[in-house]
């Protein structure tokens, strides 16, 4: 077209500041346009590590449970703002309002159930918060603020740092006469310095599930050692059907404990020292690398090990999963499934078969405005209301009540593979990880195990690298 | 301005003086105030707070009491996992920056040349920018690049008789990079295409006419000597933006590779690692903040150096 007004720009010389900024202006405008939709939560900020990450957590664990019905936002909201400060010291007649938080249970009906329990409590108004996604981070962040819930559940009780940091209150004496009725390994796991910090709600266990018909077709006996398991996995693999599924990460997230126990080792020893220096541990982890590269392991399934879909949809013949999938397994497979613990490593060594067991424990936050009312509610729900406890354990997903007397009463656990699973739990159950096994130790271990399993790194050397990190953590928390 | 205010001063009180002539000061604060307040609360105070935290042993607390000096910085700078996360970023940047640059430019050139349905193509290519990273990650992870036969990628491989590939699970070969790079490329290439289009339309036609008269052939020669040099300002801005965005990578990594609270040590960019230290299960806000500050300084440094290097010395202008 025309010439006139482009003098400054026509020369392709070095960029001057004005040109840079004018393009920058265009970029900024386009950026605003893009921001309308992209919703990444981090336009413009260069240092906002926190800002960028919070939003992403919301949508993460979609693979957690296929059964999860509604991811609706929690009813209670975050704040205990409704209960104003004045009512904290208010008249004795007014009912306090307690906020109680749960992570999202995938099984249908669980949310309605916990709301029903909360509504039935006579001495306080209890609002239930229900959180899909990264619940642990959500709780950890909330405990830093005055918006902390009064009562919340924590996987295997509060972390050692939360206890030592004074974020949670001890719950001594709440168990009363029922103390001996609770599963002792879980009570120990949630006790620090002689004080109990959480009341176990229900026991969850992981275990190996296999298709009886598929093993029978190939004339394979249920494996009792690791080598038998690996051989079975190989024999069962047939084209797109894989022999074994232990998680999309090849077992990093699930098999550390079972592998340690399979050779008689552990995360930590009884006196809180590193428990995995035995050379047999390195050998066992090395075998997991062989399994990973054998071609008989299912990897990259659309849903991960915690959901029953892979074995139900015949992507694999054996799957490491949890007791909570039993309702689906029974519905989809009928009698065509059996249960096993993770086998011991070899028939001669010191190891034993094992299953990890864990429990969500009910805790009381130190920042609660009504600590006594919160403790009273926890005692009411998780100690006194035995009918609610049985209902919560067995009516939705499949869990084992945390108390022996109730486990004996739960009819659904008395027959078939469920009864077999309970037997395995009693004989081979290990608390998932010890109290002093901190998240930093866990990260160091899973990094190392990933390198061993996936990259074929030298197990002895790689595990030796973990020891230093774990020792540093032990030095910090064991007082 | 100051003198005008002074003129008005004898007649009116302090209030009028503060409002400024024609209430300009008032309007300045009405328009700027809310944004400044937001910026202060959501950006500057958190940055200052994390600088403060980075000098304390701040586990499970944002009001720490144990001052540790530079210990957190020392820890982060010698932490092999943090250093390897910087390495991961470098690898990611080496892939994603040139690839997005080249594809963005190529698309822009193609769309710019077409006269049929140009607006349609422009919108179609730009549209993915409006998609959420989280949603796209789930699509990539669960439907396109899952490890079983039902996945799109494995279905295609199946036509040619190949076995299934567990794209996100294996490290030899590192197929996960293919997933991560294609994902981000798809999401952001349209945005950069628009930037290049804007740049292309700023090039005066007279240059092409002059080049044609001088005998330059259409195609490569014109591109090499006219178009590309004229796009320099856009190119610099695009490269700077791409690099900063790569530094800030979080969403697609976190949503494609994390498993149940753990994240594999490979393909773990800095923000993901810091997330696990500070906001995830570890709640070590002191070390996390120190890492964030180190990262911020690095981004600032690289950006300044890159801009300086790419714009060249300011001879003319």
- Percent share of chain B, pLDDT over 70: 94
Gap between the Cα atoms of A443 and A460, Å rounded: 18
Gap between the Cα atoms of A219 and A331, Å rounded: 25
B254 inside domain: yes
The reply to whether B103 and B230 lie within a common domain is yes
In chain B, residues with a C-beta closer than 8 Å to the C-beta of A15 are 232-233, 236, 310-312
**Which residues have CB under 8 Å from B144's CB, separation 6+?**
B151, B152, B153
pTM for the whole thing?
A: 0.80
Q: Kindly report, residue by residue over B199-216, the tens digit of the pLDDT.
A: 999 999 999 999 999 888
Residues A207, A322 contacting (CB under 8 angstroms): yes
Residue A152's SS3 state is strand
B195 and A27 within 8 Å at the Cβ level: the answer is yes
A59 and B170 within 8 Å at the Cβ level: the answer is no
Residue B61 has pLDDT above 90, yes or no: no
Provide the pairing of β-strand A242-245 with A429-431. Answer: unpaired
The predicted structure's pLDDT at residue B12? 59
The predicted structure's pLDDT at residue B116? 83
Question: Other CB atoms closer than 10 Å to residue A39's CB: what's the count?
Answer: 15
Minimal CA separation from A75 to chain B, in Å: 24
Q: Which CATH superfamily is domain A65-204+358-426 in?
A: Periplasmic binding protein-like II (3.40.190.10)
pLDDT in tens, chain A (479 residues): 443 444 444 444 555 656 555 555 555 555 554 444 433 333 333 333 333 333 333 333 333 333 333 333 333 333 333 333 333 444 456 789 999 999 988 778 899 999 999 999 999 999 999 998 888 888 988 998 888 999 999 999 999 989 998 999 999 889 988 888 998 888 999 999 999 999 999 999 999 999 999 999 999 999 999 999 999 999 999 988 999 999 999 999 999 999 999 999 999 999 999 999 999 999 999 999 999 999 999 998 988 998 999 999 999 999 999 998 888 899 999 999 999 999 999 988 889 999 999 999 999 999 999 999 999 999 999 999 999 999 998 888 788 998 888 888 888 888 888 889 989 998 899 999 999 999 889 999 999 999 999 999 999 999 999 999 999 999 999 98
> Nearest-CA residue of chain A relative to B126?
A34
Domain that holds residue B42: 2-53
The reply to whether B141 and B273 lie within a common domain is yes
> Nearest-CA residue of chain A relative to B225?
A12
- Answer whether A65-204+358-426 and A205-356+435-477 agree in fold: yes
- Percent share of chain B, pLDDT over 90: 51
- The domain defined by A205-356+435-477 folds into D-Maltodextrin-Binding Protein; domain 2 (3.40.190)
- Residue A96 Ramachandran class (φ > 0 left, ψ -120 to 50 alpha, else beta): beta
B160 inside domain: yes
- Any B CB within 8 A of A162 CB: yes
The reply to whether B172 and B204 lie within a common domain is yes
**Which residues have CB under 8 Å from A219's CB, separation 6+?**
none
Interface probe for A, chosen from B38, B51, B131, B147 (most Cβ of A below 10 Å), is B147
Q: Residue A30: which of B145, B195, B236 has the nearest Cβ?
A: B195
Q: Residue B262: which of A240, A252, A306 has the nearest Cβ?
A: A252
> Nearest-CA residue of chain A relative to B282?
A439
A14 and B317 within 8 Å at the Cβ level: the answer is yes
The reply to whether B41 and B148 lie within a common domain is no
Q: Among residues A386, A420, A418, A424, which one has the least CA distance to residue A402?
A: A386
Domain boundaries, chain A: 65-204+358-426, 205-356+435-477
Phi, psi of B37 (to 5 degrees): -60, -45
The predicted structure's pLDDT at residue A414? 85
Interface predicted TM-score (ipTM): 0.81
For chain A, positions 249-268, list CB contacts with chain B under 8 A: 249-250, 252-253
The predicted structure's pLDDT at residue A14? 53
Q: Residue A16: which of B147, B284, B314 has the nearest Cβ?
A: B314
The predicted structure's pLDDT at residue A73? 34
Residue B261 has pLDDT above 90, yes or no: no
Exposure string for B215-234, b = 16+ CB within 10 A, e = fewer: ebeeeeebeeebbeebbbbb
The predicted structure's pLDDT at residue A78? 35
Q: How confident is the model at residue B8 (pLDDT cuts 50, 70, 90)?
A: very low
Strand partners, A97: A125
The reply to whether B49 and B76 lie within a common domain is no
Question: Other CB atoms closer than 10 Å to residue B139's CB: what's the count?
Answer: 15
B317 and A9 within 8 Å at the Cβ level: the answer is no
Gap between the Cα atoms of A279 and A349, Å rounded: 12
Is the backbone peptide bond immediately before B173 cis, with ω within 30 degrees of 0?
yes
B290 inside domain: yes
The reply to whether B45 and B90 lie within a common domain is no
In chain A, residues with a C-beta closer than 8 Å to the C-beta of B244 are 46
In chain A, residues with a C-beta closer than 8 Å to the C-beta of B129 are 34, 37-38
In chain B, residues with a C-beta closer than 8 Å to the C-beta of A470 are none
The predicted structure's pLDDT at residue A353? 95
The reply to whether B118 and B9 lie within a common domain is no
B67 inside domain: no
**Which residues have CB under 8 Å from A70's CB, separation 6+?**
none
B60 inside domain: no
> Nearest-CA residue of chain A relative to B253?
A56
B265 and A30 within 8 Å at the Cβ level: the answer is no
The reply to whether B38 and B86 lie within a common domain is no
Interface probe for A, chosen from B246, B252, B282 (most Cβ of A below 10 Å), is B282
Q: Residue A253: which of B150, B232, B260 has the nearest Cβ?
A: B260
B62 inside domain: no
> Nearest-CA residue of chain A relative to B135?
A59
Q: Which residue has the tokens 């006996």?
A: A221
Phi, psi of B97 (to 5 degrees): -65, -55
For chain A, positions 449-478, list CB contacts with chain B under 8 A: 450-451, 454-456
Minimal CA separation from A24 to chain B, in Å: 7
The predicted structure's pLDDT at residue A68? 34
B173 inside domain: yes
Residue A356's SS3 state is strand
Domain count, chain B: 2
The reply to whether B252 and B147 lie within a common domain is yes
Q: To the nearest 10°, report the CA torsion of A215, A220, A222, A225.
A: -140
Q: For A64-73, A443-452, B46-55, B110-119, which range has the lowest pLDDT when averaged over its residues?
A: A64-73
Exposure string for A86-115, b = 16+ CB within 10 A, e = fewer: eeeeeeeeeebbbbbbbbbbbbeebbebbb
In chain B, residues with a C-beta closer than 8 Å to the C-beta of A3 are 204, 206
Mean pLDDT, chain B, integer: 87
Gap between the Cα atoms of B96 and B180, Å rounded: 9
Q: Among residues A463, A468, A469, A478, which one has the least CA distance to residue A260?
A: A463
Q: Residue A12: which of B138, B191, B230 has the nearest Cβ?
A: B230
The reply to whether B25 and B120 lie within a common domain is no
The predicted structure's pLDDT at residue B54? 94
For chain A, positions 142-161, list CB contacts with chain B under 8 A: 143-144, 159, 161
For chain A, positions 393-412, list CB contacts with chain B under 8 A: none
Mean pLDDT of B150-165: 90
In chain B, residues with a C-beta closer than 8 Å to the C-beta of A324 are none
> Nearest-CA residue of chain A relative to B232?
A15
Q: Residue B45 CA to chain centroid, in angstroms?
A: 22
B198 and A26 within 8 Å at the Cβ level: the answer is yes
In chain A, residues with a C-beta closer than 8 Å to the C-beta of B46 are 48, 50-51
Give me A300's structure tokens: 């990259």
> Nearest-CA residue of chain A relative to B312?
A14
């Amino acid at each position: 077209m025309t010439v006139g007004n482009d003098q400054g720009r026509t020369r392709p010389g070095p960029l001057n500041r004005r040109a840079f900024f004018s393009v920058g202006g265009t970029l900024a405008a386009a950026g605003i346009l893009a921001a309308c939709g992209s919703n990444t939560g981090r336009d413009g900020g260069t240092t906002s590590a926190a800002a960028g990450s919070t939003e992403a957590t919301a949508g993460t664990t979609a693979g957690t449970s296929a059964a999860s019905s509604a991811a609706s936002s929690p009813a209670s909201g975050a704040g205990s703002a409704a209960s104003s400060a004045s009512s904290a010291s208010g008249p004795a007649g007014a009912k306090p309002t307690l906020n109680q938080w749960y992570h999202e249970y995938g099984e249908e009906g669980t949310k309605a159930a916990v709301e029903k329990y909360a509504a039935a409590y006579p001495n306080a108004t209890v609002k239930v918060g229900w959180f899909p996604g990264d619940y642990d981070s959500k709780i950890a962040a909330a405990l830093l603020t005055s918006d902390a819930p009064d009562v919340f559940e924590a996987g295997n009780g509060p972390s050692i740092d939360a206890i030592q940091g004074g974020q949670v209150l001890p719950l001594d004496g709440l168990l009363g006469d029922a103390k001996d009725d609770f599963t002792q390994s879980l009570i120990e796991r949630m006790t620090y310095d002689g004080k109990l910090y959480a009341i176990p709600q229900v026991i969850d266990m992981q275990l190996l599930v296999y298709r009886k018909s598929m093993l029978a077709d190939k004339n394979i006996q249920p494996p009792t050692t690791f080598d038998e398991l690996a051989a079975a996995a190989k024999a069962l693999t047939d084209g797109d059907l894989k022999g074994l599924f232990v998680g999309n990460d090849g077992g990093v997230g699930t098999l550390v404990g079972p592998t340690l126990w399979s050779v008689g080792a552990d995360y930590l020893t009884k006196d809180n020292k590193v428990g995995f220096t035995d050379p047999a541990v390195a050998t066992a982890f090395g075998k997991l690398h062989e399994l990973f590269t054998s071609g008989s392991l299912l990897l990259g399934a659309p849903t991960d090990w915690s959901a029953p879909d892979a074995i139900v949809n015949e992507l694999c013949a054996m799957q490491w999963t949890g007791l909570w999938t039993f309702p689906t397994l029974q519905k989809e497979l009928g009698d065509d499934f059996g249960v096993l613990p993770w086998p011991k490593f070899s028939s001669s060594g010191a190891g034993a078969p094992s299953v990890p067991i864990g429990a969500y424990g009910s805790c009381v936050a130190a920042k609660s405005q009504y600590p006594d009312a919160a403790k009273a509610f926890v005692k009411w729900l998780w100690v006194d209301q035995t009918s609610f406890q049985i209902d919560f354990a067995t009516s939705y997903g499949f869990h084992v009540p945390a108390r022996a007397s109730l486990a004996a009463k739960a009819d659904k656990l008395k027959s078939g593979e469920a009864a077999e699973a309970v037997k395995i739990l009693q004989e081979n159950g290990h608390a998932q990880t010890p109290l002093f096994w901190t998240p930093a130790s866990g990260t160091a271990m899973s990094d190392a195990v990933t390198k061993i399993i996936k990259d074929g790194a030298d197990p002895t050397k790689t595990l030796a690298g973990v020891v230093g990190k774990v020792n540093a953590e032990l030095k910090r928390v064991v007082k | 301005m100051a003198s005008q205010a002074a003129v008005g001063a004898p007649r009116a009180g302090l209030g009028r003086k503060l409002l400024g002539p024609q209430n300009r000061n008032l309007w300045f604060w009405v328009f700027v105030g809310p944004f400044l307040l937001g910026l202060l609360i959501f950006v500057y105070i958190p940055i200052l707070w994390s600088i403060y935290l980075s000098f304390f042993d701040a586990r499970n607390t944002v009001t720490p009491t144990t001052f540790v000096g530079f210990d957190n910085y020392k820890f982060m700078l010698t932490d092999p996992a943090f250093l390897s996360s910087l390495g991961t970023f470098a690898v990611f940047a080496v892939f994603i920056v040139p690839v997005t640059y080249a594809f963005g430019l190529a698309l822009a050139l193609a769309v710019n040349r077409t006269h049929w349905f140009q607006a349609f193509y422009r919108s179609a290519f730009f549209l993915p920018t409006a998609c959420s990273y989280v949603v796209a990650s789930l699509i990539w992870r669960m439907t396109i690049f899952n490890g079983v036969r039902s996945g799109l990628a494995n279905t295609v491989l199946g036509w040619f008789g190949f076995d299934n590939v567990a794209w996100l699970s294996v490290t030899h070969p590192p197929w996960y990079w293919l997933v991560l790079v294609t994902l981000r490329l798809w999401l952001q290439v349209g945005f950069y295409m628009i930037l290049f289009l804007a740049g292309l339309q700023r090039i005066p036609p007279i240059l092409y006419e002059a080049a044609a008269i001088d005998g330059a052939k259409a195609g490569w020669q014109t591109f090499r000597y006219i178009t590309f040099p004229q796009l320099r300002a856009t190119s610099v801005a695009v490269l700077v933006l791409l690099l900063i965005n790569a530094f800030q990578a979080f969403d697609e990594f976190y949503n494609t590779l994390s498993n149940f609270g753990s994240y594999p040590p490979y393909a773990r960019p800095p923000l993901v690692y810091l997330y696990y230290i500070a906001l995830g299960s570890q709640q070590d806000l002191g070390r996390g903040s120190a890492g964030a500050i180190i990262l911020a300084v690095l981004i600032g440094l690289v950006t300044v150096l890159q801009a300086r290097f790419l714009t060249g010395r300011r001879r003319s202008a």
